[in-house]
Structure 1
Amino acid sequence: MHAPKLRIKSPDVLIAESGADRAGHGLRRTMGLFQLVCFGVGAIVGTGIFVGLSDTVAEAGPATVLTFVLAAVTCVLTAFSFAELGGAIPVSGSSYSYAYATLGEGAAFITGWCLLLEYGVSVSAVAVGWGQYLNELLHSVFGWQLPAALSNPPGEGGVVNVPAVVVIALAASLLVRGVRESARATAAMAVLKIGVLALFCAIAFAAFEGGNLTPFAAHGLAGVTSGASVAFFSYIGFDAITTAGEEVKNPRRTVPLAIMVCIGVVTLLYCLVALAAIGALSADEVAGKPAALSLIVNHVTGSTVGGGVIAFGAIVAIASVVLTVTYGQTRILMSMSRDGLIPGVFQRISPKTATPVAGTWIVAAVFAVPAAVVPLKVVLDLTTIGTLSAMVIVNVSVIVLRRSRPGLARPFRAPLFPLPPLLGIACCGYLIYGTGTATWLQFGVFLLVGAVLYVAYGRRHSRLRSAHTGAAGTEAEGGAKAVKAAEAAGADGTTGPAGERAPVATHGG
């Protein structure tokens, strides 16, 4: 008896379906390289550095700079895989689509399920930190703050985090207006927050004391490991660039380049901020403090004005992350909905704004709840382990695709292959280990729920289920028609060089 084949959707079909969709009233290609880089920076720089820095310092002490480097190495190794896959398969689904094209439908669904942690739950985590800096700004300007009961979640001195809900609602309101408007807002916010962090470095380095960096690894290797797992949260979002594959001009070239530029810029910025922060104020004074960057600037300048400027930058930075990560989540859900694995409401595109309006509001409503009532530490750890797991799958996918489709057009190829994806898998595993036993157990339960949902709904409603009823030929014929439609529209960069053409899809049970 032959073993059942995986339900795999070939890269040609994925590209073809996105092109065919766009030919009607789907997504529009409006984003260039600068906008995409700003989009990536907008997705990355936010709560992780403005709020999470103090948590990283609590774990690693002065070695926080090293933890950012270690987390960056993990991201760079996996970024090579994202860049290669993003150029070869320029569609909206990111890791989910890459898993569908290489590991099959079951793995793709679980990947999409993990991405709910990276994108959806991370929206909650990011939004939780917004209230800290909002209160810091209100205190600097007006001398008063929101009551703790309305600006913190339970477990952190509050009842409900109202600012977190507000920032998610504002992001959703902007996203449903259109991608062009969202991209412009994101670009402006990205430039502003880089400027604010540069200002912070200039102020903090003016009070730099080398003695604050000793002992460097105060908590030993264990502190560096756990600190790197916390610091990794600061990099989450760079892969959101790949979720914009269907709305980018010349995606095969632009997506890989934007990924590499973003990682380089953000790593340099984070290391400078961490070094400046601990040099200006000792690790013990920074560890665990809310709105730590404003605290440091206030200490150095002796007034609250500088801290207020930093707080304003943090408010803008965190809002931009909420905006871009919510965008990424809606595009992943749209891809899963196209495949029938989740309800069809998530793939509905408004002909007026060319955005998934209903899906955007559903995402905002669902993830506003944990943002309002769940402590930051809980959602931060779950976001980290979900992201690392998805990154492992991406590294595996690039290896599998090299073997299964060696002639597929790849504008970018990971150097020294297969070393980067193998090292990426190892580094991700190392950081997963650092998240701790409690997070592993929570994640295990989360995966179990995802598997049950796939069996109960996704597998039964999948558009590739026809393979189980002898309709594989019909599906392949439809896929071939989609490929022809995409080739006809290929002049705008949707398909790019076709490369070799393998069979359109592989199906099975």
Structure 2
Amino acid sequence: MQLKRTLNRIETVALSVAVIAMTVGMALNTPFVAAASGAAVPLVYIISTVGVLCIALSFVRLASKIGHAGSVYGLIRYAQGRNPGFMAGWALLLTYTLFIASALFGFGLFASMLFDPIVKIAWPVYSVACGILVWWVTYRDIKLSTRLMLSIEFLSILLLIIVAMVILHKQPASAVPFQVGGAGIVGISQGLVFGVMTFIGFEAAASLGEESRNAFRDVPFAIVATVLIGGAFFTFVSYAQTIGFGLDNVKAFAAAATPMNDLTSHYLGEPFNVAIKFGALISNLAMAVGSASAASRLLLALARDGFLPRPVASINSFGSPKLATHVVMALNMGLVTILPFVVASASDLYGYVSTIATLTVLVAYGMMNLATLTHFARQDLQTGKPYRLVPPIVGLLLSAYVLFANVYPVPAAPFNLFPYLAAAYMLIGAAITFLSARKDSSRAMDAYVFHRVPPTIDDATQEVEGRSQA
């Protein structure tokens, strides 16, 4: 059996929107930006949007040429060959796998915040229950997953927009958050690290290259749309948060563990704060489902091409990865069952696994930009379009900067150990590459290449004119 092309454009977008987890990002990440950049939090998100868009355009150029369930693995294999593709895919596989765990920990955190006033249940119980639900949804038809994710994210995003609008209605507007201010360029650049990290997962739709009906259009659209929508949402909500805490009270913003909950309680009261906690809860659920969907397809693609046991590439009667889903979810159920005995805090575990996931995804992003740069450089220079090389160059430099900033200065324990864990994981990938080494056929990717040429603007104009004459 093969994966089936059943998804429309909106369903394709849903996967990236779910994995980026916009509500979770605004619920937890903005204090880190405020600590580095002061009141200029929305300015940081504007700059981050431009930078991440450059990385996204590298995905877009290759995703318009080839549709592959392996995401960066398939795209980079097409551009640079089998082994570089595997290493990038191997890096992204750990990211998606750990994103599931972090989302399950986040679900447990917000579930305990929401239900503890009613009944006291240990947070790992909520995480395990969520994991079982994610397992069931991911195993079934991908259309069920995408529709569920889209509905959940739409509701949680809407809740945050309501809170932001109430804050802006009650507080005077100010241009200060859009100015560099006292933080200076250094503060802005430090905040940029956390700003970019909020976007991680925007590329998830690339794993639907074999299931989107018009993948050569819809996958690039999903990637760019997610970055632009996310950027607008992050800028708007972070501006409201900055104004809500007060321009002279940025320290309180930076110290807030859950800024949206604090602001909601202050401006709308505790009843609506319950709704915000619920929104964060279901956003974690959507993130877990999206990450599991992407991870299982990436694992399937690697197994299908001989890097892992071939039975892992099996597909179930719903047209979704069979054994790959079980492997990914069994691993994560083990993590959410065992790790709470080692680290008691759900928020700490969320931070730990997210940090490791960030390190490997930045490797994948860097390799993606490098692949796009090397693959298209000669073509762009020969056709007099060197400006098209600017996005992958910017994306490569940005990925390298954010990765460097995560390892130097050396962070406090246990974060100082995580780069070594990520490096050890990548060495395992290198060993797999060596053990499975074989000559890569130049025709190996032909089945996944789009052989039709996407219509140009002129083609679209002629089509519209033809319809009007008819």
Q: Under a length normalisation based on structure 2, what TM-score does the superposition of the two structures give?
A: 0.83
Alignment of 1:69 with 2:33, yes or no, is no
- Which residue number corresponds to residue 293 of structure 2? 327
Deviation of 1:313 (Å): 1.3
Alpha-carbon distance between aligned partners in 2 of 1:146 and 1:251, rounded to the nearest angstrom: 46
- Which residue number corresponds to residue 185 of structure 1? 148
- 1:90-116 per-residue CA deviation (whole Å, 9 max, x = no partner) reads 111111112222333332232122113
The two structures, once aligned, show a CA RMSD in angstroms of 3.0
Task: Give the counterpart letter for 2:329 in structure 1.
Answer: A
Alignment of 1:379 with 2:344, yes or no, is no
Compared CA separation, residues 216 and 309, structure 1 to 2 (3 A): farther
Alignment of 1:313 with 2:275, yes or no, is no
Give unpaired runs (5+ residues) of structure 1: 1-24, 152-160, 407-413, 500-509
Mapped contact 1:31–1:248 kept (Cα < 8 A): yes
Q: Residue 273 of structure 1 aligns to a residue in which SS? A: helix
Deviation of 1:217 (Å): 5.0
Give unpaired runs (5+ residues) of structure 2: 456-470
Alignment of 1:366 with 2:331, yes or no, is yes
Q: Tell me which of 220, 236, 239 is aligned to 2:203.
A: 239
- 1:30-70 per-residue CA deviation (whole Å, 9 max, x = no partner) reads 11112222332222124222222333333333222222223
Alpha-carbon distance between aligned partners in 1 of 2:433 and 2:396, rounded to the nearest angstrom: 27
Q: Is 59-68 or 32-41 further displaced after alignment?
A: 59-68
- Which residue number corresponds to residue 319 of structure 2? 354
- 1:223-263 per-residue CA deviation (whole Å, 9 max, x = no partner) reads 43333222323211110011111010111111112222221
Matches within 5 A, 1:255-334: 255-281=219-245, 282-301=249-268, 303-334=269-300
Q: Residue 198 of structure 2 aligns to a residue in which SS? A: helix
Alpha-carbon distance between aligned partners in 2 of 1:329 and 1:97, rounded to the nearest angstrom: 14
Q: Under a length normalisation based on structure 1, what TM-score does the superposition of the two structures give?
A: 0.77
Q: Is 216-225 or 265-274 further displaced after alignment?
A: 216-225
Mapped contact 1:38–1:191 kept (Cα < 8 A): no
Task: Give the counterpart letter for 1:189 in structure 2.
Answer: I
Compared CA separation, residues 442 and 136, structure 1 to 2 (3 A): closer
Q: State the percentage of identical aligned residues.
A: 21
Mapped contact 1:133–1:291 kept (Cα < 8 A): no
Matches within 5 A, 1:382-397: 382-397=356-371
Mapped contact 2:241–2:260 kept (Cα < 8 A): yes
Q: Tell me which of 39, 49, 57 is aligned to 2:15.
A: 39
Q: Tell me which of 385, 398, 403 is aligned to 1:432.
A: 403
Task: Give the counterpart letter for 2:318 in structure 1.
Answer: T
Task: Give the counterpart letter for 2:254 in structure 1.
Answer: A
Deviation of 1:297 (Å): 0.7
Q: Residue 247 of structure 1 aligns to a residue in which SS? A: coil
Alpha-carbon distance between aligned partners in 2 of 1:184 and 1:415, rounded to the nearest angstrom: 40
Deviation of 1:498 (Å): 10
Alpha-carbon distance between aligned partners in 1 of 2:108 and 2:77, rounded to the nearest angstrom: 38
Task: Give the counterpart letter for 1:82 in structure 2.
Answer: F
Alpha-carbon distance between aligned partners in 1 of 2:23 and 2:135, rounded to the nearest angstrom: 17
Q: Tell me which of 65, 72, 75 is aligned to 1:95.
A: 72
Mapped contact 2:23–2:160 kept (Cα < 8 A): no
- Which residue number corresponds to residue 338 of structure 1? 304
Q: Is 102-111 or 384-393 further displaced after alignment?
A: 102-111
Matches within 5 A, 1:45-124: 45-124=22-101
Mapped contact 1:40–1:262 kept (Cα < 8 A): yes
Matches within 5 A, 1:144-183: 144=118, 146=120, 150-151=122-123, 161-183=124-146
Alpha-carbon distance between aligned partners in 2 of 1:121 and 1:415, rounded to the nearest angstrom: 38
Q: Residue 248 of structure 1 aligns to a residue in which SS? A: coil
